[in-house]
Amino acid sequence: MSITYKDIDPESGIRWCVRAVFAGDSYGLDHCLTYGDPDEDGGVTDDPLIEFYDMDSMAAKHMRESDNKTTAYLAEEYGQFVSRYYLSTLLKGRGIDLSKQWCEVAGINLDGGIDRWTVSDKFVGKALWELMNAIEERNGAMTKKKQWLVKATYQEASEWVLDRDLDDAHHWYVKWDRLEVQWEEGGSFETYYPDYPASDNFDFKRPEDVSVEDYD
pLDDT in tens, 15-40: 999 999 998 899 999 999 999 877 66
Q: What is the pTM of this model?
A: 0.63
On average, the pLDDT of the chain sits at 86
Q: Parallel, antiparallel, or unpaired for β 108-109 and 80-86?
A: unpaired
Q: Is residue 28 within 8 Å of 19, Cβ to Cβ?
A: no
**Are 74 and 158 in a shared domain?**
no
Where a domain ends, among 97, 128, 143? 143
Distance, CA of 141 to CA of 83 (rounded, Å): 29
In whole angstroms, what is the distance from residue 185 CA to residue 169 CA?
9
CA–CA separation, 17 and 11 (whole Å): 16
**Residue 97: pLDDT above 60?**
no
Lowest mean pLDDT among 123-132, 148-157, 179-188: 148-157
8 A C-beta contact, residue 152 and residue 209 = yes
- Same domain membership, residue 182 and residue 101: no
Same domain, 84 and 162: no
Check residue 159 and report its DSSP letter: B
Does one domain contain both 12 and 116? Answer: yes
Statement to judge: residues 12 and 84 lie in one domain: yes
Residue 26 in contact with residue 32, Cβ under 8 Å? yes
Are both 14 and 107 inside the same structural domain? yes
| pLDDT attached to residue 81 | 97
CB-based contacts of 22, cutoff 8 Å, min separation 6: 1, 2, 35, 45, 48, 138
Residue 214 predicted with pLDDT over 80 = no
Residue 33, classed as helix, strand or coil, is strand
Same domain membership, residue 81 and residue 51: yes
Instruction: Dump strand ranges (E) for the chain.
Output: 3-8, 15-21, 26-27, 33-34, 49-54, 80-86, 108-109, 118-119, 148-153, 171-175, 178-182, 190-192, 209-214
If one counts the domains in the chain, the total is 2
Domain check: are 138 and 160 in the same one?
no
Give the pLDDT score at 9.
96
Q: Give me the domain span that covers residue 52.
A: 3-143
Boundary-marking domain end, from 143, 170, 187: 143
Identify whether residues 166 and 65 lie together within a single domain. no
Can you say whether residue 79 is alpha, beta or left, with left for phi > 0 and alpha for psi between -120 and 50 degrees? Answer: left
51 and 76, same domain (yes or no): yes
For residue range 100-146, what is the model confidence (pLDDT) as tens digits? 555 567 889 999 889 899 999 889 988 988 898 888 888 776 655 67
Q: Which of 113, 143, 173 finishes a domain?
A: 143
Predicted local confidence at residue 182, as pLDDT: 95
Looking at residue 146, what DSSP letter applies?
P
Asked if residue 198 and residue 184 are part of one domain, the reply reads yes
Judge if 85 and 175 occupy the same domain: no
